[in-house]
Amino acid sequence: MIQTAEKKPEPFMIQTAEKKPEQGLESFVGKIPSGKINGKFISSTKIMEYRTENFFDVSGAVAPGTGNETRQTILPQMSQGDINYTPPNYDYAASLPTPRQIGVESGNTLDSVARAVSGMAYYSDAIGFGGSSSFLTSDMGLAPLGMNYFMPTSQTCPNGARMWTYMNGIPEGNVLGSLIQNVMAEEGLPALKGLAPGMMEDVKDALNPSPLIQSVFGKPYPDCEQRTLPVGDAKGLTRQISGDIQYNNGQPVQTKWMQKKDGDGNLVFIDSQTYNCVPKTLNSDGSVNKTPPNVDPSCKTSGFSDMNTYRYQGIAKVALGLCAIALIMLVRSAKR
């Protein structure tokens, strides 16, 4: 009996850019320019890690050098170099007072014990309510932590102004819904604006799929509106807020161009024709553009109307569908 040696499995083969890839590799990862690969190819699992200058670019929607396309993205954007902005560096730990700052001291007297109890109540309210919930903390100056401010984006509004987004860093107190909020108000308790509910609000906003769904399936161009919103912390301090600040009834506010929302709070998008046909009357900083570019003459002759056109088209489609259903029901009843 002839005994053959047991055939060992072929070890993983690491192939560098200088070696010729296996046959069939191009059909696996697509057409790859020769001499541009930097990486390795593991033949047994058909996995390739590579970096190329002209074939694939993860920084933009379209890779430069692919055919005649040279744009990094088709969306309206401004150069990041034009943004001269430093966001506020809000320190939650520094904004929360130490026990000594709220009057807690070590000792064995009745007063020191009472101060310690008030200190425990203070930190409990700071975590849960962001305000005083009992007589123990009523005169200790409790306020929700966080800061509201505007942050610029790289997108441009239809009128030419830079689009800003509003960072609502102060909890709103509605994480459990309006019903629980009303019940707590009836019991004399403050809204849930503490650190813990604030984190829950952040998670709730992060898990909201509506903006992603609208950006994927909707129109990619944002419509804008000018809004005035409060900035700074809950005590009105604005030492880290950049830009012009106005005051409305003693509250610091700023006015910026933001993406428009409809009555249900959904972001509003428009198509490229609507975006391009809106006169660019503003500069990126929101000031009046004294020499705006001319509007394309085709906007006045191509059937362009206002931004409500698409809403009317949607209503017409729904009405047409209802008429079709009614017609089908009428035909069926006639056959009977």
Tens digits of per-residue pLDDT, 253-270? 999 999 999 888 888 888
In a domain, 113, yes or no: yes
Residue 278 has pLDDT above 60, yes or no: yes
Amino acid present at 206: A
CA distance linking residue 104 with residue 120, whole number of Å: 9
Tokens of 13: 């083969």
CB 228 within 8 A of CB 253: yes
Residue 18 has pLDDT above 60, yes or no: no
Tokens of 180: 């629980």
| Backbone torsions φ then ψ of 228, nearest 5 degrees | -115, 120
In a domain, 161, yes or no: yes
Same domain, 120 and 184: yes
- Average pLDDT (7-22) is 50
CB 150 within 8 A of CB 286: no
Same domain, 232 and 180: yes
Same domain, 18 and 65: yes
Same domain, 62 and 190: no
The total of structural domains in the chain comes to 2
Same domain, 69 and 96: no
Same domain, 133 and 187: yes
For position 322, what pLDDT does the model report?
A: 73
Structural domain span for residue 17: 10-74
Same domain, 233 and 155: yes
In a domain, 334, yes or no: no
In a domain, 204, yes or no: yes
For position 208, what pLDDT does the model report?
A: 76
Q: How far is the CA of 218 from the CAs of 148, 157, 221, 271, in angstroms?
A: 29, 17, 9, 9
Query: Is 0.75 topped by the overall pTM?
Result: no
| Backbone torsions φ then ψ of 312, nearest 5 degrees | -65, -35
For position 178, what pLDDT does the model report?
A: 84
For position 99, what pLDDT does the model report?
A: 92
CB 252 within 8 A of CB 246: yes
For position 233, what pLDDT does the model report?
A: 93
Q: Which residue has the higher pLDDT, 118 or 66?
A: 118
